[in-house]
Amino acid sequence: MRQKSSSTGGAAGSADGVARRSAIAEEQAFLDLATARRDTLADHLRTELSSDPSDAVERARQRMLRRQHEELRRAREGLVFGRLDARDGTVRHVGRVGLRDDGEGGEPLLLDWRAPAARPFYTATAVDPQGQTRRRHIRTTESTVVGVDDEPLDGTTTAELVGEGALLAALDERRTGRMSTAVSTLQREQDDIIRAEATGPLIVQGGPGTGKTVVALHRVAYLLFAHPTMAEQAVLVLGPSPRFLRYIAQVLPALGETAVVSATCDTLLPGIRVQRDESRLLAEIKGRVLWQTALETYVTSLLPPPRDLKLRWEGEFYLIPAATVAQTLASAVQGRPYHRARAAFAEQLHHILADAVVEQREALMNEMEEGFEDILARVDRSMRYDPVGRRPAGSDVDGLLSEEEVESLPGRIAANAAIARFVEAWWPSLDAETLLRDLLADRTLLARFAPRLTTEEIIAVSTEPAPWASSDVPLLDALADLLGEVEAPRPQGEFVADQARRRRDWVYGHVVVDEAQELSEMQWQMVLRRCPGRSITAVGDIDQAEAAHRHTSWAQAVRAAFRDRWTAAELTICYRTPREVMSLTEPVLREAGSRNAPPRAVRSSGIDPWVRTVTPTELAGVATEAVRELRQRWRGGTVGVIAPAARVAELLAALSGVPVLTATQSKGLEWDATLLIDPRGIAAEPRGWNGLYVALTRCTQELGQVVLA
């Protein structure tokens, strides 16, 4: 029998109260059962992990068991959050992990939210119930059920939102400064993207508050579940800033996913630190894809030219003709990075030299043998032969190499320090940082290898200071890739994420890019190098782009990396920002030159945005008072301040305990209340209308603005 919809959100009559208490008790009983089963399985896995792995197969098994144990351990919070009642009477519960009961058949006790059978929990509607009669959202605190929200699916009324009660309850919760998991409130258009095939680049356009980051991270969890081999390669999550990565840091571990490396484009290259800001002009110039071709040509020019090579071995000189060197060079290069090509050339050179040594030894012995025969003929005439006509004993001479010596000769040559020094001098090891500094400082080299740059652009690039800036990292990465490792490092550490984090040349199973609209063309090349299979999910809002590049559409943004081989998806509903605030954004988008409509807000906070006008001398005092009021109103939540870059230092000095950020720094973050300082000043910055669009949409409840008179 289908239960009446119930919720903990409002005053209930006696009948509703009884139904609510009964539903909570029913789900508490199931949660207790699932928790006990989870604990039993975790204990069993812990026992299995106590054994000492003795071989590669057992070590692989131990890694799998450790992963399962960690997933169970992290699933204590929010273990069960949903239930589906089917038309045939089947009841299925949905949770953070999958559990089977301890009966003989091992029937499913709890469906993993990523499993295909759990998908109707996110996608079923009253119009398309998918065989379900009811969906129940279960809210828990630790091991206690605190509320349920029943949603009938067998009616005829079209429901625009799936599980609206549970979703809006989650949105009304106070912000804590860390992103929480949202598996219990994912909506249909979000779930469609999460479960999309990972067969190529997927570009997801979504305005503020549409859940782009939530979708991206839950897609990682889903893909690692649906494609277990992906965990062997790890998944890379690229975010816009360290602050953002700290904000999302708990989401994937909370979902049981540990085969994940998070980074920014600035931190992606091991051993390189960004130490300098630079002008938008330089950032735009160095972000262009033309540098990829320029650097490839630059490195090719550094290959040694073919010439006669004269090598010494055991006191003798051997000449390798230029024609042989040219042929060997061509064979060694064949698309290999510089240092790997050198290693291939050296290996072939060792065999060529060994052949030359053998041939020269054979020729010498032939000459000696012919001369020795002449001498013997003269001696024979003056000597008597023995009775049987034999020559005197000891006259045989054999200086040829044995088979074993011939086989070992290339190895001996390879181990010879003098030969190694010769190869190093002719084909030297190169360093990416040194090469890039040399190139960027030399206007002649820039004109030769980057002919598409104007004279003014070459001058701008060649006069920059030495410390690395953000736009240098993709150039260094490209050079490091073109050079290759002098000696490839061996993976270390037990966990795949630890290995991947240390390796520049690691190939990931999937890459997720958040705030993807900010990537330059050269940064996209960094992404492609780490995922040549192009299993990539990129989420962002092209209307929030603030970077120095010139693209204003996704087609322009990803053309250099993907051409037209990518799939577009869109998130259209704003769950975070209330209607009262979203109503301010359309004219801002028009000023930014956008052709897109802002996402449609589905909730109201009941609080109209407010404005206070002050003089510059009053700014610090008014801002301090406004922050105090907001923190009082949103006690237990968060308040953030966004200001033009020129005013951040002043406000940081006046305000304590509250983040004061530029519009760019606030990207991807959210607070219960936002205090927006000098919106006209933000709009006046480069790409300022895009920045103002970002700043307006960071709050979940209340927006205040301080305008300068």
Amino acid at residue number 451: P
The annotation status of 211 as a binding-site residue, yes or no, is: yes
What single string gives the DSSP state of each residue in 642-693?
A: E--GGGHHHHHHH--SS-EE-TTTTTT--EEEEEEE-HHHHHTSTTHHHHHH
H-state helical runs in 75-163: 120-123
Q: For residues 79 and 77, what is the distance between their CA atoms, to the nearest angstrom?
A: 6
The rounded distance, in Å, linking the Cα atoms of 169 and 9 is 8
Query: 153, 129 in Cβ contact below 8 A?
Result: yes
Give CA–CA dist 387/380, Å, rounded: 14
609 is in an annotated binding site: no
Q: Is 207 annotated as a binding-site member?
A: yes
What does the alpha-carbon distance between residue 540 and residue 639 come to, in Å, rounded to a whole number? Answer: 24
Asked if residue 131 belongs to a known ligand binding site, the reply is no
| DSSP summary character for residue 276 | B
Task: Give the span between the Cα atoms of 380 and 367, in whole angstroms.
Answer: 20
CA atoms within 13 A on the CB side of 589: 18
Cα atoms in the 13 Å half-sphere on the side-chain side of 310: 3
Task: Give Cα 144 distance to the centre of its chain.
Answer: 36
What span, in angstroms and rounded, lies between the C-alpha atoms of 299 and 475?
A: 12
Q: Answer yes or no: is 206 a known binding residue.
A: yes
Size (the chain), residues: 709
Q: Where are the alpha helices (DSSP H) in 563-657?
A: 579-582, 585-591, 619-633, 648-654
CA distance 267 to 274: 8
Give the distance from CA 357 to its chain's centroid. Answer: 52
CA distance 59 to 364: 57
- CB neighbours of 525 closer than 8 A, spacing ≥ 6? 289, 292, 474, 477, 478, 560, 561
Tokens for 509, please give them.
Answer: 């199973």
For residue 212, say whether it is annotated as part of any ligand binding site. yes
For the annotated binding site, the residues are: 206-213
Name the binding residues for ATP: 206-213
